[in-house]
Amino acid sequence: MSTHLVVFDVDGTLVDSQVHILASMQHAYAALGLTPPARDAVLGIVGLSLPVAIARLAPDLSQADQAQLVADYKTGFAAQRAESLSPLYPGAVEMLDHLARDPSLLLGIATGKSRRGLDHIVQAHGWQGRFVTLQVADDHPSKPHPSMLHACLSETGIPASRAVMVGDTRFDMEMAQAAGLAGLGVSWGYHPAQALGARVIDDFAELPAALEEIWAGAAE
């Protein structure tokens, strides 16, 4: 019987998609004749739903121009995705395989990607059936709203005390806190490790021990 749930973010946690993200943002801004934001600014909004991210990056633009940036970004990202697949982070495949062999664990995803974008990733990496709950930006308010994680818990029947959110941004950690889950940061993603709280791992190999420590603490 499955007793615990591990929910993963995608971009910056499992998949290193920054090349596609940066190129798509440059495409979107160039289409409006605008100078694109700096790299750190773009990576700083990864994890948010795209309209929310664009509104933060370009708060002085009209809603119409923001909507056009969103549309052009999607067009650019689709073109990037058609040309190449964003790589997985080292150790991601091995760790997902390891966790999937544990009958006491369920795996889920909570991502700011669209359903179409996540479906592409799942199919490309042969992850069909690997994750029992898949939450995307199309169906929920943007992170850090806890809606995605509430849905993960509802669909799996796992209580928040036996679930962990694994992510690379402060939005992931804030979402976990809002939903009553433990948050576990990864240092290889797009936000500085110091922004993720006290519990951060530097390698996927550290994940099983970190999960055991979290759940042991919750049981005390």
Tell me, yes or no, whether 64 and 159 share the same domain: no
Instruction: Provide the residue range defining the domain that includes 62.
Output: 18-83
Checking if the pLDDT of 110 tops 60, the result is yes
b/e per residue, 120-142, with b = 16+ CB within 10 A? bbbeebebeebbebbbbbeebeb
Tell me, yes or no, whether 122 and 65 share the same domain: no
pLDDT of residue 178: 98
Tell me, yes or no, whether 10 and 60 share the same domain: no
In one-letter notation, the amino acid at residue 35 is T
pLDDT of residue 138: 94
Checking if the pLDDT of 122 tops 70, the result is yes
Checking if the pLDDT of 204 tops 80, the result is yes
Strand partners, 4: 105
Task: Please give the model's pTM, rounded to 2 decimal places.
Answer: 0.94
Checking if the pLDDT of 164 tops 60, the result is yes
Tell me, yes or no, whether 190 and 101 share the same domain: yes
Domain count within the chain:
2
Checking if the pLDDT of 220 tops 60, the result is no
Q: Which of 38, 66, 83 is where one domain is finished? A: 83
* pLDDT confidence tier of residue 154, bands split at 50, 70 and 90: very high
* pLDDT confidence tier of residue 67, bands split at 50, 70 and 90: very high
